[in-house]
Amino acid sequence: MSLVADLAALSLYTRLIHSDWSISPRKRWAATAIRKESGWLTGAPSRVGDTVLFLNYLTAGSYTTLAGFDFPIGLPESYGQKTRLGSFCNALDAFGSGRWSAFYEVANTANEISIFRPFYPQRSTSEARQVHLIEAHGCGSIDGLRRQCEQPTAARRAACPLFWTLGGNQVGKAAISGWKEIISPARRLGAKLWPFDGSLERLANIGELVLAETYPAEAYGHVGIRFATGESKRRQNDRAKVAVGISRWADSNKVIMTPTLVSLIEDGFGPRADGEDAFDAVLGLCGMIEVIDGRRPEGPMHKGNWEGWILGQSE
């Protein structure tokens, strides 16, 4: 299909929602963009709040919605094959019940780790080591528990492996929360899962709600902003420094930001600790707009049934 036809299909998405997720409900923020004739109308982010109400929001209205979440959506191929469940989508349907009833229960000790209880450790202890995961899952190294999109490249460091749940960069507990509270319930309501159910082009034609994995930190570069050495998204003043870059990107790409959102961006998203979460909700949304407007490929469409990919990330 030609590029023009691809863009025509992607234009079927009329609402984009991006959520910066966390195991802590107070740190879950979401931002929304609505397609208008003049461009994308984007408002200030808000706390997600009750997840049942948020699911209702995702499915409300006559929109074709693409919703992005910054937690892993997929499993390492090596682990997935051992489950004999056939695919990540099949596994989602099985996890939490029957022989998989303990899947979402994070192991307390190394001897509790198994294919049926893969996450570890529940809490920080002096005994907890990544080697316990490596040995329990039969991997030669911790890279064996990373998906391809989590492996290190020349442009980025390796991501924390899904099943390791210790430290500030761990993502396992957020994935548990996201899969149980959002992904699985949404799929039961008919939502489709990118890229497992197909390309964005295909899914735009067959479903009203499409869910995808995102990574806001990578979206910074897609939008054209960066933090200098010594700067951090955790500091309000540093977030305020990139406001000009965000505004320039919006003006260049027909993204209309409400006055409230403009003020929030210029203010560096406020002094509170969760300012970084609201910031990432908005920047992740900007990254999604880059993909849907055709300036950024959605990502390599791997044929595997297990690992998935991060929207807009190149190999």
- Tell me what the mean pLDDT of segment 276-295 comes to: 97
75, 107, 226, 302, 311 from 159: Cα distances, Å: 13, 21, 19, 19, 15
Q: What is the pLDDT of residue 84?
A: 97
Q: What percent of the chain has pLDDT over 70?
A: 98
pLDDT of residue 275 exceeding 90: yes
Mind listing the pLDDT tens digit for each residue in 200-259?
Answer: 999 999 878 999 999 999 999 999 999 999 999 999 999 999 999 999 999 999 999 999
pLDDT of residue 1 exceeding 50: no
Report the Cα 231 to chain-centroid distance in Å: 23
Q: What is the pLDDT of residue 2?
A: 41
Q: What is the pLDDT of residue 4?
A: 46
Q: What is the pLDDT of residue 303?
A: 64
Mind listing the pLDDT tens digit for each residue in 36-77?
Answer: 999 999 999 999 999 999 999 999 989 999 999 999 999 999
Mind listing the pLDDT tens digit for each residue in 114-159?
Answer: 999 999 999 888 889 999 999 999 998 999 999 999 998 877 788 9
pLDDT band at 3 (very low <50, low <70, confident <90, very high): very low
pTM over 0.85: yes
What DSSP line would sit under the chain, residue for residue? --HHHHHHHHTT--EEEEEE--SSGGG-EEEEEEEETTEEEE---EE---HHHHHHHHH-SS--EEEEESS--S--HHHHHHHTSSSHHHHHHHTTSGGGTTTTS--SSGGG-BTTB--B-SS--TT--HHHHHHHHT-SSGGGGS-GGGS--SSSPPPPPTTB--STT--HHHHHHHIIIIIHHHHHTT-EETTTT--HHHHHHH-SEEEEE--HHHHHHHHT--PPTT--TTSHHHHHHTHHHHHHHHHHTTEEE-HHHHHHHHTTT-SSTTHHHHHHHHHHHHHHHHHHTTSS--------SS---BTT---
- Tell me what the mean pLDDT of segment 296-308 comes to: 86
- Tell me what the mean pLDDT of segment 13-32 comes to: 95
Average pLDDT, the chain: 93
How far apart are alpha carbons 112 and 290 in whole angstroms? 43
How far apart are alpha carbons 266 and 269 in whole angstroms? 8
| Domains with residue ranges and CATH for the chain | 3-72+178-292 (3.30.420), 77-170 (no CATH)
Mind listing the pLDDT tens digit for each residue in 152-211?
Answer: 887 778 899 999 999 888 999 999 999 999 999 999 999 999 999 999 999 999 878 999
